[in-house]
Structure 1
Amino acid sequence: MKMTLRDKVLSYLGSLVLCCINHSSLAAELAELGNAARCADYSGLPAHWGDDPRAGMVYLKGGEFTLGTTLGYEEERQEVKTQVSGFWIDQTEVTVAQFAAFVEATGYITEAERQGGGVVFHAPSAAELQQRPYPWWRYQKGANWRHPDGGERLAPANYPVTLVTLLDAQAYARWLGSDLPTEAEWEYAAKLGNQGSNLEQEPRDGHGKPLANFWQGQFPRHNSNEDGHAGLAPVGCYPANAAKLYDMIGNAWEQTRDIYTASHQSPAPPLFVVTDVSPMQPMVVKGGSHLCGRDFCVRYRPSAREAHEANLPIAHIGFRTVQRER
């Protein structure tokens, strides 16, 4: 029987409904952040948290893209044509509030809590700069995801959770039926068809305003606090990328499930190659952090990558999770 225009319109609307049922977190339930006022007011928990296992997640249709760049550091420069399947990804870095809900539900104790401390940043003196490499890092007794300074101060609920190891992040992800992203999935979500900026270009808009939480000033002793955030910022204080994902660049480095290699492999490693890893295994982290600046760690770009020990809790690394199409 020939379909009328009305029938075709109704059929089309029906397909949209089915689409929205299948991808229920695509639009209306996403947090509207992207500026200082909105991120300050955010509770740290996405809409329908606790009811919807994909609360606060964005769906990305799979496709082909170029992993790596010719514009960055040596470990980034091998460009590899890479295919990824469709997946859901957290709109923001996992927050302290989300991680607290996991701990409350499971009684989980992080590695930093079991070890008794973690690695934190401090502005070194001129003498310290002459005494040892990377003097801005120190082990702080009592530092953990709840108390990032090692003292009584509690981590704000709407900040990215840090001082969590690979094991901790994986435990949280499993609790939600999720996983950590591969390096390819993370970079695909960060780029969305854009190969990214060159090594010298800071993430700023046409008026010079910072578009991400990176170090402004002379690292590591002077932070000009130009954007109002001398350290970590609440999630979502800066504009989202084309996929409505916040803080893919800067704020906190983000863990992936991939073992670090000195350059990209061609083809990109499949999911099944990564199983159990040794405690000190270097893993890939992505996106840079608030400690990356023009005179140190110029890694506020989608293709940037760094190695980080799996079992080392540190104050500038967090994570976000993914759910893959079955």
Structure 2
Amino acid sequence: MGDAHDEGYRADGELPVHRVRLSPFVIDVTTVTVADFAVFVDATGYRTDAEEFGASAVFQANAGAPGTPVPGTPWWLTVSGANWRNPGGPGTHADSLHPVVHVSHRDALAYCAWAGRALPTEAQWEFAARGGLPSARFPWGDAAPTASDCNIFQGDFPSSPTAPVGTMPAKSLQPNPFGLYHTVGNVWEWCADRFSARYYRASPELDPQGPERGASRVLRGGSHLCHDSYCYRYRVAARSHNTPESTASNIGFRTVAR
């Protein structure tokens, strides 16, 4: 586990590379889709954090309504009415086959509790994402990605894309050798663990669960907005994190059973 090529961001804590052993587990072939999440909401009446708050973060190219630029990252807009049903805000509609987005960590846990599932630990996620290719940069190996490998930003980030910007169906492009789709690119995926950049220095070898303390939660896999010039985090070793109440148009999740 970790960045065998030493090319990640130091602040993300992708080093040291270390051995991990995992108990057996089952993981979703795809991220949870809009259709999957709709079944949960219809059964429970659940309202997401984005719906309760009344707004969520949307990438500028996908906004269906005016929004307020996020300080420091003006290509992100806080758009009123953006949520899992309306990912770009009012006037936009989620595709049932695409990953559900605008879900917080709390929302993902609520879905898991209803479905009898769990969020993967960070170690489970990385093992599954690698597809049996130890130390490789990507689920397909070390070669630079093509458009048929993963859904990441094409062109000059953030304002000059050369291809459509947004999510793809959760079951599209080529799966990794374990049969999992979009383990890099498309949407970031929540993991169960709290985040610490120092955790790899002391994590246990057997079934690591993440640090006991920490305000933010781990995100893995990168998204359709990753780009070498800004966010080289569509590698299987790459780590990111956000506060558990955070929601955005490029954050989703997949689940596991133990």
Shift of 1:302: 0.5
Match of 1:193 among 109, 117, 133: 133
Question: Match for residue 96 of structure 2?
Answer: 157
CA distance in 2, matches of 1:272, 1:214: 29
Unmatched segments (≥5 aa) in structure 1: 1-65, 125-130
Give the secondary structure class of the aligned counterpart of 1:105: helix
Tell whether the 8 Å contact from 2:122 to 2:192 is kept in structure 1 after alignment. yes
Give the secondary structure class of the aligned counterpart of 1:168: helix
Give the secondary structure class of the aligned counterpart of 2:145: coil
CA distance in 1, matches of 2:2, 2:28: 20
One-letter code of the match for 1:288?
Answer: G
Question: Match for residue 266 of structure 1?
Answer: 202
Shift of 1:312: 0.9
Question: Match for residue 66 of structure 2?
Answer: none
Question: Match for residue 250 of structure 2?
Answer: 316
After TM superposition, the structure 1 = structure 2 runs for residues 222-261 of structure 1, keeping only pairs within 5 Å, are 222-225=160-163, 229-261=164-196
Match of 1:306 among 240, 249, 254: 240
CA distance in 2, matches of 1:233, 1:148: 13
Distance 1:272 1:135, change over 3 A: closer
Give the secondary structure class of the aligned counterpart of 2:124: helix
Is structure 2 residue 21 aligned with structure 1 residue 90? no
Computing the radius of gyration over CA atoms, which structure comes out larger, 1 or 2? Answer: 1
CA distance in 1, matches of 2:180, 2:231: 23
Unmatched segments (≥5 aa) in structure 2: 63-69
Aligned length: 242
What percentage of aligned pairs have identical amino acids? 38
Tell whether the 8 Å contact from 1:68 to 1:80 is kept in structure 2 after alignment. no
CA distance in 2, matches of 1:78, 1:274: 16
User: Which has the larger share of helix?
Assistant: 1
Question: Match for residue 14 of structure 2?
Answer: 76
TM-score, normalised by the number of residues in structure 1: 0.69
Tell whether the 8 Å contact from 2:121 to 2:209 is kept in structure 1 after alignment. no
What does the per-residue CA deviation read over 1:295-325, in whole Å, with 9 as the maximum and x for residues that have no partner? 110111110111111101111110000001x
What does the per-residue CA deviation read over 1:254-284, in whole Å, with 9 as the maximum and x for residues that have no partner? 0001111114243348566678x88xx2111
Tell whether the 8 Å contact from 1:288 to 1:299 is kept in structure 2 after alignment. yes
TM-score, normalised by the number of residues in structure 2: 0.87
Which structure has more relative contact order (CA 8 Å, sep 6+)? It is: 2
CA distance in 1, matches of 2:237, 2:136: 7
Tell whether the 8 Å contact from 2:190 to 2:218 is kept in structure 1 after alignment. yes
One-letter code of the match for 1:87?
Answer: F
After TM superposition, the structure 1 = structure 2 runs for residues 138-177 of structure 1, keeping only pairs within 5 Å, are 138-177=77-116
Give the secondary structure class of the aligned counterpart of 1:161: coil
After TM superposition, the structure 1 = structure 2 runs for residues 126-145 of structure 1, keeping only pairs within 5 Å, are 133-145=72-84
Shift of 1:154: 1.4
The CA RMSD over aligned residues, in Å, is: 2.3
What does the per-residue CA deviation read over 1:150-200, in whole Å, with 9 as the maximum and x for residues that have no partner? 1132100001000000000001011111100000000000112331228x9
